[in-house]
Amino acid sequence: MAAVFGKCLMLITIIYLARLLLIRDHYRYRITSDGKYSRNTQEKYMANFKKNVLATVAALALAFGVSSAAQAASSPTNFTVNPGSIGAGQISVVGGFHIDETPFVAQALTGNSSELLHANAANNGHYADGYIKYGFFNAGPNNITLYDVASKRTIDLYVKFHLEDTTISTIGSTQKNVVTALSFDFWADIGGDTIFTQAGTNAGGGGIEAAVTNTGNDVLLGSGALTVGLAELNFLGGATLNANTTFTLTNAGKNFFIAPIPFFTMSLSGFNNQSGGAVFNNDGTVAINAGGQTSFNNAVPEPTSLALMGLGLLGVGATVRRRKA
């Protein structure tokens, strides 16, 4: 249902954008009754045109985010993990209790994210550094947790990320944001000794940063950067983040994620919490702790990128027409 809604919203938005383009020249070259161009009228209509275009692009981003997130949730893709490459495995009681390093097939990773959100300098968005700590793989009907063969401790896969967003609207108690920057590194906690500190509130009412420490022997498996993302924050304490990113494996990552070959080039993540899960601190920061999943897929053409490219070409065309005139 969400995928259908996203596609319908995208279609309606594209039709509206086409309408704007068709009447653009009318806005720009409106003529007064004496046959001369009215500069004030031109500026007025061009200002309205630009506002409409910005709103349309934001709607396209929203439509694509809804559609792609729903599609990822409804059609999970299989990937194969080789836990033995990092000295890990899953618990098995077949033939006696032991840690089985045999590769297995999974569809997603489930975990918890933590970040401390700060208002940016322009006060029109946010930035944050945080982490996602994955607790287990979703493997069909089973949840698979990894354990270190030597120490028998739980091994966590985790992501450290930097995020930036810009607010596009505030309706009632809900603030909608477009993610403008997101970069991350994907790590394996070797030995099960990495320490995770959740974002929160200190004794003075200020924010506590999310942190990952004791990482000296951890192994980098991959990294990625933003393709498209949307975030919401409401003042009841609810928060959501949906982001599609690139995903590139290191050599160690290729030994861990062994199929398909080549591995998927996109990671798709969705995290949210219930009302009250986001804590508003006295220093203006917001501590967000949420749960969600990450899955993998291959890159697809982005309607938002195509729309922005079209707007760029429109600007080039307008420049050429002005020069000819």
Strand partners, 231: 177, 241
How do residues 205-253 score in pLDDT, each as one tens digit? 999 999 999 999 999 999 999 999 999 998 888 999 999 999 999 999 9
How do residues 255-297 score in pLDDT, each as one tens digit? 999 999 999 999 999 999 877 789 999 999 999 999 999 999 9
Q: Above 70 in pLDDT, residue 254?
A: yes
Q: What does the alpha-carbon distance between residue 175 and residue 171 come to, in Å, rounded to a whole number?
A: 6
Contact 241, 278 (CB under 8 A): no
Residue percentage of the chain with pLDDT more than 90: 60
How far apart are the two ends of the chain, measured CA to CA in Å? 49
What b/e string do you get for 46-81 counting C-beta neighbours within 10 Å, with b at 16 or more? eeebeebbebbbbbbbbbbbbbbbbbbeeebeebeb
Q: Above 90 in pLDDT, residue 120?
A: yes
Of 129, 260, 134, 255, which is closest to residue 187 (Cα–Cα)? 134
Residue percentage of the chain with pLDDT more than 70: 67
pLDDT of residue 124: 95
